[in-house]
Amino acid sequence: MGYREDEDPMGKLREPLREIAQCGLPSALEAMGERWSFMILRAAFNKVRHFEEFLEQLGIARNILSNRLSRLVENGILKREHCADDRRRIEYRLTEKGFDLLPAMLALRQWGEKWELGTPANPVLCDDRDHRAIGPIVIRAADGRPLDHHELTWLDRADVAADPNASGAKVRKIA
Amino acid sequence: MGYREDEDPMGKLREPLREIAQCGLPSALEAMGERWSFMILRAAFNKVRHFEEFLEQLGIARNILSNRLSRLVENGILKREHCADDRRRIEYRLTEKGFDLLPAMLALRQWGEKWELGTPANPVLCDDRDHRAIGPIVIRAADGRPLDHHELTWLDRADVAADPNASGAKVRKIA
DNA sequence: GGTTTTGAGTTGCAACTAGAAACTGAAATC
DNA sequence: GATTTCAGTTTCTAGTTGCAACTCAAAACC
């Protein structure tokens, strides 16, 4: 459970990663950049819910797990819930924000499979409807066609072409 | 749980993250899971090439930068090249493997913008062709339609439906 | 009702890692 | 030849990780 701000045996007395040019990456890394965070997230996606279960699945030290879980809860990626049937048990569940990390996690995982593992891994993530494996995570243009890194440029927000389908002062989503 | 006894001033004497169930994520994290790796990658994507340039852009300590760059080179994500005109200068450039991390980086970045920053960041990554912002990184079925996490299941490799367009023993890519 | 077990943490300690600043050594510049 | 610059090392301190042992409350057992 929560460490207080003042005397914190394992706290984040660390300078936040410099937020150059107002980029979302440092913020994302602030929440997910620590050694075990992605592995915990992966376990959570695999329906791991309880402290001892994470402990066993990941082979992480108890104090680190405790700290990482608290951090993920603070960041709104997991939520803590007491079980109804056993008041001692605490369930850690993904929030919407947590689920939304799935594309990032899969992109990383696919990269690892392609370049490090060399072989497709075994539990394969599939489309529920037809049981076919999902496609690779790629970058796509607004119209949906895949882009590779030669076809990309960084533009100042002022120079970005408006979405022709957008009406007036519609807020652009991301990227 | 072996730390090696060799004397390595800042080496990776750490146990590899446990590779549960033959997953690509631990391998990916082995290469990219350290504190500054993604920020260095981001800088590299922004055409930062030289040691002092990284130093200035990131505000990282020299020794850590030196170590991270070496590590990224070892992992084949960056390559080191001596400049022709100035033999002292070393250029760090992304390899194909490094470029291939772009989807993962963007997914993370987009997540950070959406959930942490709240506001779209400024240099916007755009399609070179029409100068429109790229679309969000999402998970797609084999046929290209976007999937959300309710429409996904993990299947054993043996139970994955074959791609109907694939002829015989075609190797599936990833997922 | 009292003892034991279990879930989820804390605490203490030793080993490891990050960071700031000073130092090195070779190549370029004056 | 003296100075500056680039890319690292080294040193030393502060912060992190991991293991093992401890706590503390809520079930389970007897």
Distance B5 CA to C7 C1' (A): 37
pLDDT (tens place) for every residue of chain B, 175 residues total: 333 333 344 443 444 555 555 788 988 998 998 888 999 999 999 899 999 999 988 888 999 999 999 999 999 999 999 988 888 899 999 999 999 999 999 999 999 999 998 877 878 899 999 999 999 999 999 999 999 889 998 888 899 988 766 554 444 444 4
> Does residue A146 contact residue A138 with C-beta atoms inside 8 Å?
yes
Distance from CA of B60 to the nearest CA of A (A): 9
38-67 on A, CB < 7 Å from strand C: 50-53, 62-63, 66
Distance B92 CA to D7 C1' (A): 12
Are A152 and B173 within 8 A, CB to CB?
no
User: Which residues of chain A have a pLDDT value below 70?
Assistant: 1-21, 165-175
Global model pTM greater than 0.95: no
Which of A15, A27, A129, A159 to mutate: most B Cβ within 10 Å? A27
Distances (CA, A) of A116 to A88, A110, A166, B76, B79: 41, 10, 41, 10, 17
Distance B60 CA to C19 C1' (A): 8
Are B115 and A127 within 8 A, CB to CB?
no
Are B120 and A157 within 8 A, CB to CB?
yes
- How much of chain A is helix, strand and coil, in % rounded to 5? 40, 15, 45
Which of B111, B152, B157 to mutate: most A Cβ within 10 Å? B111
pLDDT digit string, tens, across residues A153-164: 888 889 998 877
Supply the pLDDT for residue A16: 53
A3: nearest nucleotide, CA–C1' criterion: C10
Contacts of B127 in chain A (CB under 8 A): 141-142, 147, 151-152
Please name every residue paired with A154 in a beta bridge, in sequence order, or none if there are none: B125
Distances (CA, A) of B8 to A35, A104, A164, A174: 20, 33, 57, 43
Supply the pLDDT for residue A93: 94
Are A42 and B23 within 8 A, CB to CB?
yes
Supply the pLDDT for residue A172: 45
Supply the pLDDT for residue A34: 87
Q: Which nucleotides of D are covered by protein (CB under 7 A)?
A: 5-11, 15-21, 25-28
What rounded mean pLDDT belongs to chain A?
A: 82
Supply the pLDDT for residue A137: 96
Supply the pLDDT for residue A19: 52
Contacts of A149 in chain B (CB under 8 A): 99, 102
| Span between the terminal Cα atoms of chain A, in Å | 35
Q: How many other CB atoms are found less than 10 A from the CB of residue A15?
A: 7
The tokens describing B148, both together, are: 């959300």
Does any strand C atom come closer than 7 Å to the Cβ of B3?
A: yes
Does any strand C atom come closer than 7 Å to the Cβ of A9?
A: yes
DSSP string, A58-125: H---HHHHHHHHHHHHHTTSEEEEE-SS-TT-EEEEE-HHHHTTHHHHHHHHHHHIIIII-S--SSEE
Distance from CA of A96 to the nearest CA of B (A): 10
Are A24 and B111 within 8 A, CB to CB?
yes
Does any strand C atom come closer than 7 Å to the Cβ of B61?
A: yes
